[in-house]
Structure 1
Amino acid sequence: TIFFCIFIGSFFMGQIDPSIKAIGSAQMAAYRFFKVHDNKPAIQRRDADERKEVSSIETFAFEQVHFSYPARPTVTVLGGVTLTINRGQKVAFVGESGSGKSTIMALLERFYDPSSGVVYVNGWDMRTFKINALRKCIGYVGQEPVLFSQSIRANIMQGNPEATKEQFQQACADAQLTFVDSLPDKYNTFVGAGLLTPLCICCLGWRVGAREHHDKVTSHYDLIAS
């Protein structure tokens, strides 16, 4: 009887191991979730106050913008940048890693405010606009785009689930995704790393009139997508 109990107990102990691993994984996931959840954004949303609405962006302008990240206040990333970008212009910022290209994108999206100087939108201080309204006018493709683990079609349709076939085809053509027709499963192909950036650009195609920002846009292209 004792041997039988030991045998049964050992069997069930072996079954516990996967559950213990699952609990450990859940704890790590919960830690990461609450770390993000409890994080205080650098820019606090106060859209209920008297801030202005904005429906389109005609001009971005930097005036003597200096910036240092809060985590590295002694390191100057931007030192007195002055520039103007008008609607319809195609502008590329070129430089070494750490020279401030991504920082300019972050300031245009108002993920941060300048340490000093002013960023203007349509001639007004960017801080006078509601953040939600401002960001609806902007399309952004970052260095590490994130998409759903689904087909190309499913990811594109996330931007406009009610799009017609013609609208879908036009958005793909605008993003130069026509090469997908040469793939065996065409738009039912599951997303791969080499498709991340062009797919995100295609998703922005639904947002007519949005000002698009691409951060290191070629970093996720592969040969077939080039």
Structure 2
Amino acid sequence: MKTSQFQSLLNRLNKRTEHKDIFLSPLSKTVDYGKYWDELPTPKMSISSGDGPYSFYFIKNEHGVYVAVVLDMCTDLHWYVGPKHRKKGILTNAMAQVILPDLSTGRETQQISIDPQQLSEEEVEASQAVALNLGFVFRDSGDRGFVYELDLAKLKKRKPSMASKGMSEERLKELKRKLNYHSRSLWVIESEVAAAFGNVRYSTQLMELVDGIRKHTWKLEDVYYDFKKANGEQS
């Protein structure tokens, strides 16, 4: 993703409006883990469009303003700090205290690449300084630029410090309606398949999938009420 896209995401989050393509989970007072759908699925979308959401860490300053972002690409991390908030240690602190310990729960090492072809000289130097301060070690230079690596196994595993926020009852109803819609949409497909090819095994498999998705309507409701009960909320 480009620098302008990172800044655009920060600007959107700072508007504090509801988003249907960004889903956040708080990890600390200053770091949210997020899933961002760059392209929401549509009925006319090409079957080759199989990519899922991007995984992000969104970083806030002491005033609750989103000022930095880290894109988790598994084998690489890309980060960006808004121009007015650089050289304040915000990214380094968030990485050291929350993000890297969180990543260590699912992987043993982490690489980052710093590409001088994509960044200014000042940005390259700043990123290298952050990497070294965090304990990354230079490994290689090539097509990805300068590659650094950190042994995450040495980090203390992080325990979530913020409770999940749950969802409203109205949102629950909306998601249940969506699950019902998708199950019935598959049922329409099954009807066409059965009409075209007869009572084939694939038609039966589609109906099994329809039934499975319909059951998730009630499983989601169970999750909702279990969460409320665990958090002492009235149902």
Above 0.5 in TM-score? Answer: no
Higher-Rg structure is: 1
Q: What is the TM-score with the length of structure 1 in the denominator?
A: 0.20
Which protein, 1 or 2, shows the higher relative CO under an 8 Å CA cutoff with sep ≥ 6?
A: 1
Where is the strand percentage greater, Structure 1 or Structure 2? 2
Q: What is the TM-score with the length of structure 2 in the denominator?
A: 0.20
